[in-house]
């Protein structure tokens, strides 16, 4: 795979959940790849949420959470015509990035595009946050399920970004 784990860019919307100084600290990650061509955020959103692999996740969400979604709704999210999609609502959006919050508010999903200067390539980013909860002493802890699922989560994140990359290539 041509996907690698990376530091969150300083201007990433997801940084609000990163580190102890964050308003709602928790686990964050960032995966990055590069594709040929100049792509806008809407291209990445649509490729990400309409890819075959993510369609399986959409189907599971539709069945278990009763939140069905369509490719047309993914297109409308991509083009800014809607602020909700399947289990997610837009928390923040800028020209090159979007931050989504699911209905349970325990995680976040983030996508960003970055045109590469002096080349005909675009860097694609995908990241997640698991929002920590404060215990009785005020210390923030990740949910109990995070540690055993972390390896799967990272692999799945790479697979999803790779599928979007292939959808754009």
Fold of 4-168: Alpha-D-Glucose-1,6-Bisphosphate; Chain A, domain 4 (3.30.530)
What are the structural domain ranges in the chain? 4-168
The model's pTM is 0.90
Question: Which helix or strand (DSSP H or E) is residue 32 part of?
Answer: strand 26-36
Which whole number is the average pLDDT over 58-84? 97
Question: Which helix or strand (DSSP H or E) is residue 7 part of?
Answer: none
Question: Which helix or strand (DSSP H or E) is residue 118 part of?
Answer: none
| pLDDT score at 25 | 62
pLDDT digit string, tens, across residues 11-54 = 999 999 887 655 556 789 999 999 999 999 999 999 999 999 99
């Amino acid at each position: 795979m041509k996907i690698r784990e990376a530091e969150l860019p300083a201007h990433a919307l997801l940084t609000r959940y990163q580190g102890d100084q964050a308003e709602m600290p928790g686990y964050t990650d960032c995966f990055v790849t590069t594709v040929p061509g100049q792509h806008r955020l809407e291209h990445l959103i649509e490729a990400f949420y309409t890819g075959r692999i993510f369609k399986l996740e959409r189907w599971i969400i539709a069945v278990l959470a009763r939140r069905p979604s369509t490719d047309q709704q993914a297109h409308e999210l991509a083009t800014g015509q809607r602020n909700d999609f399947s289990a997610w609502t837009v928390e923040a959006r800028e020209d090159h990035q979007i931050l989504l919050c699911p209905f349970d508010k325990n995680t976040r999903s983030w996508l960003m595009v970055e045109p590469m200067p002096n080349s005909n390539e675009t860097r694609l980013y995908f990241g997640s946050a698991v929002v920590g909860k404060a215990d009785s002493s005020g210390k923030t802890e990740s949910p109990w399920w995070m540690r055993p699922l972390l390896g799967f989560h990272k692999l799945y994140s790479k697979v999803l970004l790779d599928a979007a990359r292939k959808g754009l290539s």
